Every structure is written in C-alpha cells, then in structure tokens.
Amino acid sequence: MKLRNIAIIAHVDHGKTTLVDRLLQQSGAFRDNQRVAERVMDSNDLEKERGITIMAKATSIAWKETRINIVDTPGHADFGGEVERILSMVDGAIVLVDASEGPMPQTKFVVGKALKIGLKPIVAVNKVDKPDARITEVVNEVFDLFAALDATDEQLDFPILYGSAKQGWMADSPDGPQEGMAPLFDLVLKHVPAPRIEEGGFRMLGTLLEANPYLGRLVTGRVFAGSVKPNQAVKVLDRKGNVVEQGRVSKILAFRGIERTPIDEAEAGDIVAIAGLEKFNVADTLCAPEVVEPLQAQPIDPPTLSMTFSVNDSPLAGTEGDKVTSRVIRARLYKEAEGNVALRIEDSPGSDSYIVSGRGELQLAILIETMRREGFELSVSRPKVVFQKAEDGKTLLEPIEEVVIDVDEEHSGVVVQKMAERKAEMIEMRPSGGNRLRLVFHAPTRGLIGYQGELLTDTRGTAIMNRLFHEYAPWKGEIAGRRNGVLISNDNGESVAYAMWKLEDRGPMMIEPGWKVYRGMIVGEHTRENDLEINVLKGKQLTNIRAAGKDEAVRLTPPIRMTLERALAYIEDDELVEVTPKSIRLRKLFLDPNDRKRATRAKETA
C-alpha cells in the first residue's frame, strides 16, 4: 500500500484527540456495532480523568488504497518533549486551531519546530460552530504566525479546511457541506508527500518507548531505510555511533486502527513497534549489523524546573505505601527518564534523594501522581528553576516564559498588578472578543510557580493562562514568596475536633478531625507572617457539672483541600510534600523545632 505519515499538532483543548476519534470512525477502523470510548487514544487513567493527552500515540487508517499513519500529540507545553521527538517520524502535520481562541503559545512552539524540519502543514480551523467563532481573523493570525516563524513560500501556501471534529465534518468553507471527514483524508493524500526512503541497509529511529507485560520493551519508530523481519539480527547504535547492544527482533507490530497487529515484514517509510531488545532507547538507531552511521535525532529543549525526590522519613513512613526505599525510587525514576527525554535525573550528593528536572510543574506532578498510584511513598521539595551561566561565566541566567492570559476586562487590573509583583513584563494587551482581553507577558519561571491557583481566585475562575518557555535571560532579582506563615503540630497523635475548633481564629486548617498528625507536620495556614506551633490533640476537660449553655456545639469550618499541584505550589524552601498512595501531607523539612531554629540561624549568618 501507499503510505502517508502525519502528526496532529495543536494547543491544549483544541480538539486533537476528538479529531482522531472521528477519523478512525469514518475510515471504517471500528465495526458498526463496536462500542468505543470517547477520546479512544487517551488510554492512560490520568489522561481519562483530566481530559488531556500526556503521551504521544500512533494509529493508522486505510483510505483509498493508502495507509495513513497518524500520531496524536499532547497539547500542554510541559509535555512538549513528546511532540519534539515524533516530528522526525512524519512528513506532514495537521495544525488544528480553535475558531475562537486562534493560535496559542503551544501552537507556536510546535509549529516552529515542524516548519524548521521542513514539514508541509495543513491548517484545520476547528469548532467553527462556536457562537464566538472569528474564523477570518483566526486564519489571518495563523498566516502571521507562520510568517513570523520564517516559513518558506511553499509552507506559507498552506491549504485550509474548516469544520467541527465533535460533529464529525471538515469542508473547504465554514458553511459546509457537512459530509464527514472525506475532504481531510483527500487533502492529506494530495498535499502530504510520500515518506522519503533512504538508501542502504535497515535503519530505524526509536521515538516512543513503553513496557509491555508480555513482550518486554516496545520501541515505536519509523523505518528510514531497508526492511526488517522477525528473528533478524540487528544492533542498536546510540547518538554518537557506539554499539549499545546486539540481538534479534522478536516481534514487529504495525498499527491497524487502535489495535496493534503482528506483521511479517516492516518496510521503509512505515511506523512500527519492535520488541526483543532490552537496551534500545529513545533517540537510538536500530539497524542492520553492517550499518555504522546512526540516524540524527531532533535536539530536545532543556528542562527548566527541578525538584528533589527523597525517601519519606516522617513518623508515618511506610504505613500507607509498599515501595518506600531509595533503591526502588531510584530505579523507577531512571526507568521513567529512559522513555521521557524531557526529564533529567541526577543523584543528589550525600543523601537518599534525587534531583528530577523537567519542563514544568504539571509534568513533574503527573510523574509524582503516577508513582503514588503504583504504591510509592516519597517526599518532594518545592520546585526550583534550573539556572544557567552566561558565556562570560559570571552572569546568572534564568528561564523566562511567554505567558498568555485571557481574562474578563473587569479582572485585568488585578492580573497586571500580580504579574508585575512577579517581575513580569507586559508585551501586549488586546481585546479577544466578548469583553475579554488577551494579556501577553514575559515572566520569570520562578514567579509563576503557584500562580495558577491565585489567578483563578482573583478572576473568579474565568481566566485562562497558557505558558511557554521563551528564553534564558539575566536574573530579575528577588520575588516575594508566600505572605502567610503556617500552623505546625507540636506532637504526634490524632487530631481532635474540640482542639481544632478552639484554634480556628489562628487560621484555616488543612486537616480534619481524626487525622493522624505528627510533630513538624503542617496542619493549617497562620493568619500572620510567622510560623506557629499548635496543639491539635488537646481534648475537652470533662467535669461532672452540667449547666445550660455549658456544652457548646463544635462547628468546624471546612478545611483547605490540598491537591498535589496546589501543595507543590504552596510550600516554601524549608518545607516538603509527603506523598503516599492514600494521603498528601505538608511538613517542615526539619521536624524538630530546635533543628528548625538552628537552620534559620545558620541561613541568617550565611
């Protein structure tokens, strides 16, 4: 069969996975009576819960005697590493744009990468049925974006389709006809070139990695030259051309709809998954024994945030999880780094902790959430930015992000004020329709840690914030952190409702009655700037006197609910988040108050 390889790229929530659903349905990949889940490509539990794509995934459909391999990609900038890798597998890209939001930061980031390596884009304006759609302006914005990203004349002459992935149609004009996805299929066949096949022996570049319980390590990639059959002798070369291992291919799986089917031979141009090699990694080249030159992998942007993952050493350690030792935590982190090229793991000197660097808070929070669901217990520190030194070796550089905030006009003042406090510089302010403004800032990553929750509070949940790494720039100076201190438990035990009720004037609580607490654990937020030790274990003094009005009913204010992302954004440098399969607790780094005082004095004298 003839082949076409395409990626679907867009900003988060612009409808990539829904579009893939419709393409699969209308190409006959499902039986007429087959029950299919919504967003069938989002197979991971966390993807289903959050409604976002985290891992890039491949599928394929047959249309008019041509097999079209489609790669669905994540939309969040935190998972940009997934998108950067898969662009080398494809020859064209469908750039999906929301008809009201227009091209957003992640669209810009991925399109820039796609144009740089010469992919031919097709622009699909999605959600044209929205009441606030502004189709002509969006098409002009896309053209301006392509021009700003130095697209060639051929790339600027891109074809445009309009439609609604949810309703299942695409057409040459926004008014229809609404006759399904056939125009998009036909345009892919006409506009996207057939895969370029290189001369020489078998060569394949690994781009996606997964562990299969029956087949072991599975690496998905595109065959650039030659062909491969099961049981064929092959070798793995790393980026520098060193031989990593030699072995045999045990199984070749091709994508057929959402299923993977074993095949007898994979030919150049096709995207397949190969099993049988233990050390074959992402960005490595699988090749015939006579090949000596590896394929060039796309460079990946560096991580901008780092966190310290350490063994949980609290008094409640080991009571809720079964994977608690530094050895199993280390093995799990290094296994994650093999498949996720945007992560970097380093051993921290002198203790049972590891420095994990990634693209953003969401990426690291997803990793922690995945680990706690697997039964791990660990402590994690506040996210810190990854600094770099300038070429002169003296100037300290920090990551700057481009932040786009869509907000109602009435709330724009407080957003501009808060961003200014965080050393952000406003670049642009323009109306985006419906009494809303689009504010564009360049802000240091340090200042944005924990701002998402505050932004939603300030704007009553109406603002939408999108971030994207912009550049490394000189350090912007000190940024004020959290203004309130915390309430710390002064003993081990179970919290008592009466004690918590008496302490309510000290500040809102983060725990409920009956919860296990320990000395040094954070149980609430103080109304003032200093930290305060309190006793949440003290019961009511019982006497034999009964009088009217003596027994007041205990009515507690509901506690602050700490999700994992909120906890990571809330803590300061001298605090940790204790993560177990059942609980998320906040604690001080030093549980003993004397150790805390000593550390504070040492910091002041330094």
Q: Does the annotation list 415 as a binding residue? A: no
Q: Does the annotation list 281 as a binding residue? A: no
- Residue range(s) occupied by CATH 3.40.50.300 in the chain: 2-191
pLDDT at residue 578 greater than cutoff 90: yes
* pLDDT confidence band for 585 (50 / 70 / 90): very high
Q: 143: closest CA among 110, 106, 97?
A: 97
- Residue range(s) occupied by CATH 2.40.50.250 in the chain: 486-605
pLDDT at residue 548 greater than cutoff 70: no
How far apart are the C-alpha atoms of 519 and 535, rounded to whole Å? 10
pLDDT tens across 450-485, in order?
788 788 888 888 888 888 788 888 888 888 777 788
pLDDT tens across 62-94, in order?
888 888 888 877 766 667 666 777 788 888 888
Which contacts qualify for 368-372: CB closer than 8 Å, 24 or more apart? 368/309, 368/564, 368/579, 369/46, 369/564, 370/46, 371/332, 371/579, 372/321, 372/579, 372/580, 372/581
Q: Does the annotation list 48 as a binding residue? A: no
Question: Can you read off the two tokens belonging to residue 352?
Answer: 């049972």
pLDDT tens across 359-386, in order?
878 888 889 998 999 999 999 998 888 8
pLDDT of residue 185: 85
**How many Cα atoms sit within 13 Å of 59 on the Cβ side?**
23
How far apart are the C-alpha atoms of 124 and 174, rounded to whole Å? 11
pLDDT of residue 522: 93
- Name the percent of the chain lying above pLDDT 90: 11
Owner of token pair 């091709």:
254
Average pLDDT over the chain, rounded to an integer: 83
- Residue range(s) occupied by CATH 3.30.70.870 in the chain: 305-372
Question: Can you read off the two tokens belonging to residue 591?
Answer: 């549980």
pLDDT at residue 40 greater than cutoff 60: no
pLDDT at residue 417 greater than cutoff 80: yes
pLDDT at residue 510 greater than cutoff 70: yes
pLDDT of residue 68: 86
Do 509 and 526 form a contact (C-beta atoms < 8 A)? no
* pLDDT confidence band for 519 (50 / 70 / 90): very high
HEC letters along 25-54: HHCCCCCCCCCCCCCCCCCCHHHHHHCCCC
Q: Does the annotation list 301 as a binding residue? A: no
Pick the CATH number of 486-605 from 2.60.40.10, 1.10.357.10, 3.40.630.30, 2.40.50.250: 2.40.50.250
pLDDT of residue 66: 86
pLDDT tens across 195-246, in order?
888 888 888 888 877 777 788 888 888 888 888 888 888 888 888 888 888 8
Q: Does the annotation list 308 as a binding residue? A: no
Q: Does the annotation list 231 as a binding residue? A: no
* pLDDT confidence band for 350 (50 / 70 / 90): low
Average pLDDT over residues 477-499: 86
pLDDT of residue 581: 92
HEC letters along 146-197: HHHCCCCHHHHCCCEEEEECCCCEEECCCCCCCCCCHHHHHHHHHHCCCCCC
* pLDDT confidence band for 391 (50 / 70 / 90): confident
Q: Does the annotation list 128 as a binding residue? A: yes
Q: Could you tell me the CA-to-CA distances from 326 to 196, 320, 346, 353, 375 in Å, in that order?
A: 47, 16, 13, 7, 14
Pick the CATH number of 305-372 from 3.30.70.870, 3.40.50.300, 1.10.10.10, 2.40.40.20: 3.30.70.870
Average pLDDT over residues 121-133: 86
How far apart are the C-alpha atoms of 292 and 34, rounded to whole Å? 47
Q: Does the annotation list 16 as a binding residue? A: yes
pLDDT at residue 191 greater than cutoff 60: yes
Residue 178's identity, in one-letter code, is Q
Look up the CATH architecture of domain 2-191: 3-Layer(aba) Sandwich (3.40)
- Residue range(s) occupied by CATH 2.40.30.10 in the chain: 203-287
Q: Domain 389-474 falls in which CATH fold? A: Alpha-Beta Plaits (3.30.70)
pLDDT of residue 41: 53
| E strand or H helix that includes residue 357 | strand 353-358
Give Cβ neighbours of residue 94 (< 8 Å, ≥ 6 apart). Answer: 6, 7, 8, 9, 19, 121, 122, 124, 184, 188
Average pLDDT over residues 297-307: 79
The strand pairing partners of 459, in sequence order, are: none
What 3-state DSSP class applies to 392?
coil
Q: Does domain 203-287 have CATH number 2.40.30.10?
A: yes
The strand pairing partners of 524, in sequence order, are: 487, 509
pLDDT at residue 37 greater than cutoff 70: no
Q: 90: closest CA among 233, 235, 202, 224?
A: 224
